[in-house]
Structure 1
Amino acid sequence: MTAQRICSLGELVQDEARRFEVDGVAMAVVLDSNGEVHAIGDTCTHGDISLSEGFVDGDTVECWAHGSAFSLRTGKPLNLPAYEPVPVFQVTIDGDDVLVDPAVKLALN
């Protein structure tokens, strides 16, 4: 599978998550306060809640339902009740286009 265009940089709002679905994979895409774009699995591993409806703070997104925060860089939960990570997908910026390949999950520590 190859990376697919999901939006332009101009369509993302800084420090807000936006939901996209690519080849049946739901992801939350975030333009953080440093200008970096992240793509993580959109479903909280604790409560099956959309993370794109959560709150972005720095390089984390917090699930609105139960308060679990996840690292946008690693997908790891930073607090309970979630204890399983969400997938993190490779993001490529090509000019103004944001490209994501849902088959490329980054293995970060």
Structure 2
Amino acid sequence: MDKTQEQPPQKKVRVLGLDDVPDGEARRVEVEGHKIAVVRIGEDLFAIGDMCSHANYSLSEGPVDPEEVTIECWKHGAQFSLCDGIPMSLPATQPVPVFKIERIENSIFIHIPEGSE
């Protein structure tokens, strides 16, 4: 394996209970300096950087589109893919980070790089 492609070590942090995130909505959490929007669509969970790359507004305050699997910035309407953070519409042109997320029983965990803050 090419060492330049190795992922930094990550740690798993419990952030919410499953019932804390209603279906089709987002909740903002802060984990060691990372502002993250946790989104639930049915049984699927997503974790995406909470700040719009266009103008630094909170994405978790915007609407979730379960059909397109996107979240929209409430301020200027930029949409981001919940799967990879890629902007799907203007005015945003830069992606936002995504985080590995998992459900263990009724708890939601996010994986973040160790030593980040």
Specify the alignment match of 1:16 in structure 2: 25
User: 5 Å matches for 1:1-109?
Assistant: 1-32=10-41, 34-58=42-66, 59-103=69-113
| Identity within the alignment, % | 43
Structure 1 residue 102, shift from structure 2 partner: 2.3
Larger Rg: 2
TM-score by length of 1: 0.90
Distance in 2 separating the partners of 1:56 and 1:30? 8
Letter in 1 for 2:111: D
Distance in 1 separating the partners of 2:105 and 2:74? 33
Could you list the runs of 4 or more consecutive aligned residues of structure 1 that deviate by over 3 angstroms after TM superposition? none
Distance in 2 separating the partners of 1:41 and 1:8? 19
Calculate the aligned-residue CA RMSD, in Å.
Answer: 1.2
Distance in 1 separating the partners of 2:24 and 2:55? 22
Letter in 1 for 2:17: S
Distance in 2 separating the partners of 1:7 and 1:67? 27
TM-score by length of 2: 0.84
Distance in 2 separating the partners of 1:64 and 1:92? 26
Specify the alignment match of 1:107 in structure 2: none
Specify the alignment match of 2:5 in structure 1: none
Distance in 2 separating the partners of 1:14 and 1:43? 21
